[in-house]
Amino acid sequence: MIIQITAEIAGLGIIDNSNHNSITSFMGFLAMLCSTAFFFFERNSVPRKWKTSQLVSVSITGVSTLYFFLVLNFNMTTGNSPIALKYANWMFTVSLICVQFYLLTKPNGTKPTTLFKMILASMIMLMTGYIGETIDIENNIQWGIASSFGYFYIIFEVFAGDIYMHSRDSKSPELLRAMFFLKILITLGWSIYPIGYMILPGNLLSTVFEVNHIYSFYNIADSINKIGFGLVIYSMAIAETKKYSKAKVHA
């Protein structure tokens, strides 16, 4: 009901209440819109050191706002989601999430080559996933496994590779706490995507869910992960600022 009214005010027409894709896209759209506004207007509250990271957060949710707006229109006219658009959005936003890890640990020595390797791994993850969902859907299990190697590489970098090593050396308890939450996001939060993918025909969950529910999984995962990353980094920046201003008062 509320969703319908809001969508009408937004000039989007009426959302079919039985269409999970439209409903989760609309929720994604609102969540991305609000968080983009939030990250944008809060950019002056974060210290200079973290301004670039804050801008990257704005880009991630900003692009996804536009993405969800387009998808919602598509959903409402066809009842379906455009797969290519989803993957195009991921190519861009997952790369930016890798940039976030790089920026966080760059002051402690992470090199651009690490960023390059992480982006390469995400491209492999996404390209193989795309093939499994579109042109070679019969072999989606094999493509899903191939894709998981890219995913595991990113997890490896964060838990044991350069990103881990250069955050471990950090003296900032705020940064270490942020890394702790980001680790939860890239393992639990990101695992929603391969779980959704398993709804594809012949895959593990194909008998549990209807195939077009896959997009509800992806839409919910996008909201959790893209906004979650931004919030963790924002909170870290604010916590650091508070500490310094306290130190100044006591000096």
Ligand X SMILES: *C/C=C(C)/C=C/C=C(C)/C=C/C1=C(C)CCCC1(C)C
**Binding footprint of ligand X on the chain (CB under 6 A):** 90, 93-94, 97, 125-126, 129, 144, 147-148, 151, 190, 193-194, 197, 222, 225-226
CB closer to ligand X out of 222 and 240? 222
> Which amino acid makes up residue 218?
Y
Question: Which residue of this chain has its Cβ atom nearest to ligand X in the complex?
Answer: 129
Task: Give the position of tokens 């604010």.
Answer: 238
CB closer to ligand X out of 80 and 148? 148
CB closer to ligand X out of 71 and 94? 94
Q: What whole-number distance in Å separates Cα of residue 67 and Cα of residue 88?
A: 9
DSSP class per residue in 11-69: T--PPPTT-HHHHHHHHHHHHHHHHHHHHHHGGGTS-GGGHHHHHHHHHHHHHHHHHHH
CB closer to ligand X out of 144 and 167? 144
CB of 248 to ligand X, least distance (A): 38
Give the 3-state secondary structure of residue 161: coil
CB of 196 to ligand X, least distance (A): 7
CB closer to ligand X out of 64 and 167? 64
CB closer to ligand X out of 7 and 130? 130
Q: How far is CA 227 from the centre of its chain?
A: 7
Burial of 78 (0-12, 13-18, 19+ CB in 10 A): exposed
CB of 69 to ligand X, least distance (A): 16
CB of 5 to ligand X, least distance (A): 29
CB closer to ligand X out of 41 and 152? 152
Q: What whole-number distance in Å separates Cα of residue 33 and Cα of residue 61?
A: 7
Closest CA to 183 of 212, 203, 163, 211: 163
Q: What token pair was written down for 117?
A: 């390797």
CB of 14 to ligand X, least distance (A): 28
CB of 63 to ligand X, least distance (A): 10
CB of 35 to ligand X, least distance (A): 13
Q: What whole-number distance in Å separates Cα of residue 232 and Cα of residue 60?
A: 14
Task: Give 44's contacts (C-beta < 8 A, 6+ positions apart).
Answer: none
